[in-house]
Amino acid sequence: MIIFLVLGIAGFFAHAQADSLKALVFASIISGVFFTCFLIVFAIYWTGYLLKGHAT
């Protein structure tokens, strides 16, 4: 989960450093994908955490 967050932030910084339009679009897509993966994994983790506390 942390890896996806770090890669998303790195993609965001690459987006800021992009010179051409293709690089800008590519960095936007990559950072969006990594942040989406982070949110999905975080939601799965949090759901499991809540269900673990509910099961006891």
The pLDDT tens digits of the residues spanning 2-52 come to 999 898 888 888 877 877 888 888 888 888 899 999 999 999 999 999 898
pLDDT on residue 56: 61
Higher per-residue pLDDT: 9 or 56: 9
- The secondary structure of the chain, three-state, reads CHHHHHHHHHHHHHHHHCCCHHHHHHHHHHHHHHHHHHHHHHHHHHHHHHHHHHHC
Q: What is the pTM of this model?
A: 0.76
Higher per-residue pLDDT: 1 or 44: 44
pLDDT on residue 22: 84
pLDDT on residue 20: 83
